[in-house]
Structure 1
């Protein structure tokens, strides 16, 4: 699959090109940089502007085969001279239009800074300093990174919930966009957890998604939008929470995902494992269901359909007591004695199906 280049690579390339144009007085149409991964990047330059006091240009982001909403956007760099020379920071970097600004602690950049992460900042400074050395320029340069479409795009990202306002982030640790989005998802989960820990949270409320939002509001007065979204990566999320020093974690979610945890499955994506009916049937066996009932459960397409059989047979309480016991066991096993793990499981139709021993206490005491 084809790899792409990050917004950080685009910003660094545009910054280098604008610096060359400013210090040489000549326009360029293409530039080359080396990414932290050691791969060369040679984009064409767009919307070139050269004035006596500044130079600017844009690089169009190419995400390769990765499904990325920033694919095709223009990342701009405007470079201008600063007088007098700033000995402490010869290369000053900030964000302009469409680049978000950090409003909450726990992110890569401190509150108030533009959401241009550390590695992209290092890339920009490295490339621009090489240009300054090439042209024997001993002054300071100010680099403004902007993304004209950034503010609108940011509404489709995690930035608003992370406390990054006004635009997208300039990111990337290798400069390369790898096809598939697993790493990006895990990085986002880590950022959310780190931010909540930095704000003093000792308990992480985690959910695969927003299924059951109304149930959680009505039952526990909790807005599921505030939970860390772990997607299918339940095991990795517990690992991250342990490493960050959380004392407790509560997993809240729909039976369609969480029933898999009762079988020790910590990545709930269907391509990894889909034994929902088998696990529901196993619980029914434990509770004395007949062979005919088991066959009926195994023939179900959805967990909601299987639930109807549980309730029809009157075995729902005994079955979910058993299922929650298994979930508690596997969550605790993953926690490895380093974090208290709890769980609340529900369905769209029936509401609360089961909970571990201390899960409700955490919500009642607002212990998060």
Structure 2
């Protein structure tokens, strides 16, 4: 008999962790080095990750020549939704003259084209920790075999060429493939932190490449408004999703003094209550914010009751238009949004905020918008 499961129980089940492309590359590199130097075949290797978790990884696609060995490890992202899940990460290890250990990227591993990343321009997009992991596994195999000669390690991800088209890599200055990532070697499911990391990285890259005004928008509605109404190149903007607080913190960290924020009223109204993560699971308060500010504008009980029953912000705006309170309520909300944003950034920063609605167009904006838009226009 099949017992139906409650949705809450399904949501609370323990999710399976996976392992990073960095772990795959390190395991494949270590296995290829061992097979090259020892002459035998490995079908599985143990890898101690920086997190302290030992992985037992299957070795696939083994091929050998006199001076080189190539093999692969298949990426497993666990229960985390990841475009790299199931791909093969290859490592080719070959003997070279001298005693150097050279690690580089091949097919499907991106190249850095802009400053601001941990790798220099022209280098393979293999992040610091994965590179250390690769080096550690190769050196360990060399020590075990008593080898002190030179080796070249090339990491390939053939599917990386196509996968890169579905990532933000090009905007980050990584072209020709994907990055070899991972700081712990383990992929934690529901990687909110990974999304925040990518937002922070994009902000840092834009600053490193001389963009003086940081343009933040939560999502596609804001991107469309920037493009269609303000005629701003969307590649200049950073989509910060619901993580407005984290984006502002990064802006302060890298030294941004000019910030332009464009967002839909449904998300940005939450900022008027100091809610800096605008995801509905964190907080809603849209109606409560409108209701409180409508009351402060002296609206009668009938109007307040209509606002309280409204489901969407567009509906609330329509009610306030009819009652004649919209202008006053929006001014109050914009002042509170500006107050909380300014509390999050440096006191001498210039911050401009635009709030819009798909149904009603421009809803409100702060005083500094005009100056910031002129500056953005200057570097289009």
1:14 corresponds to:
28
> Cα distance, 1:341 vs. partner?
2.8
Tell me how far apart the structure 2 counterparts of residues 136 and 294 of structure 1 sit (CA, whole Å).
Answer: 80
> Cα distance, 1:171 vs. partner?
0.5
Tell me how far apart the structure 2 counterparts of residues 145 and 134 of structure 1 sit (CA, whole Å).
Answer: 22
SS in structure 1 of the partner of residue 40 of structure 2: coil
> Cα distance, 1:266 vs. partner?
0.6
Change over 3 Å in CA distance of 1:166–1:212 after alignment to 2: same
Matched, 1:168 2:178: yes
2:129 corresponds to:
119
SS in structure 2 of the partner of residue 321 of structure 1: helix
SS in structure 2 of the partner of residue 31 of structure 1: strand
The 10-residue stretch of structure 1 (211-220 or 91-100) with the greater mean CA deviation from structure 2: 211-220
Whether the 8 Å contact between 1:213 and 1:223 is mirrored in structure 2 is no
Tell me how far apart the structure 2 counterparts of residues 365 and 248 of structure 1 sit (CA, whole Å).
Answer: 10
Change over 3 Å in CA distance of 1:347–1:225 after alignment to 2: farther
1:363 corresponds to:
373
Whether the 8 Å contact between 2:257 and 2:346 is mirrored in structure 1 is no
1:271 corresponds to:
281
2:209 corresponds to:
199
> Cα distance, 1:336 vs. partner?
4.8
> Cα distance, 1:287 vs. partner?
2.1
> Cα distance, 1:225 vs. partner?
4.1
> Cα distance, 1:75 vs. partner?
0.8
Matched, 1:237 2:251: no
1:37 corresponds to:
51
2:306 corresponds to:
296
Tell me how far apart the structure 1 counterparts of residues 239 and 224 of structure 2 sit (CA, whole Å).
Answer: 16
> Cα distance, 1:96 vs. partner?
1.3
SS in structure 1 of the partner of residue 166 of structure 2: coil
C-alpha distance after superposition, 1:170-199 (max 9, x if no partner): 001111111221110111111111111111
2:95 corresponds to:
81
Whether the 8 Å contact between 1:192 and 1:228 is mirrored in structure 2 is yes
Whether the 8 Å contact between 1:9 and 1:175 is mirrored in structure 2 is yes
Tell me how far apart the structure 2 counterparts of residues 249 and 208 of structure 1 sit (CA, whole Å).
Answer: 14
The 10-residue stretch of structure 1 (334-343 or 50-59) with the greater mean CA deviation from structure 2: 334-343
> Cα distance, 1:142 vs. partner?
0.8
Tell me how far apart the structure 2 counterparts of residues 213 and 14 of structure 1 sit (CA, whole Å).
Answer: 40
2:168 corresponds to:
158
SS in structure 1 of the partner of residue 58 of structure 2: coil
2:149 corresponds to:
139
> Cα distance, 1:117 vs. partner?
0.6
Length, aligned pairs only: 364
1:105 corresponds to:
115
Matched, 1:69 2:83: yes
- The root-mean-square deviation of aligned C-alpha atoms, in Å, is 1.6
Matched, 1:354 2:354: no
Matched, 1:129 2:143: no
Change over 3 Å in CA distance of 1:43–1:230 after alignment to 2: same
Tell me how far apart the structure 2 counterparts of residues 304 and 202 of structure 1 sit (CA, whole Å).
Answer: 34
Tell me how far apart the structure 2 counterparts of residues 189 and 143 of structure 1 sit (CA, whole Å).
Answer: 31
The 10-residue stretch of structure 1 (39-48 or 301-310) with the greater mean CA deviation from structure 2: 301-310
Matching residue within 62, 66, 70 for 1:52: 66
The 10-residue stretch of structure 1 (222-231 or 323-332) with the greater mean CA deviation from structure 2: 222-231
1:228 corresponds to:
238
2:40 corresponds to:
26
> Cα distance, 1:22 vs. partner?
0.9
> Cα distance, 1:211 vs. partner?
0.6
Matching residue within 126, 134, 148 for 2:158: 148
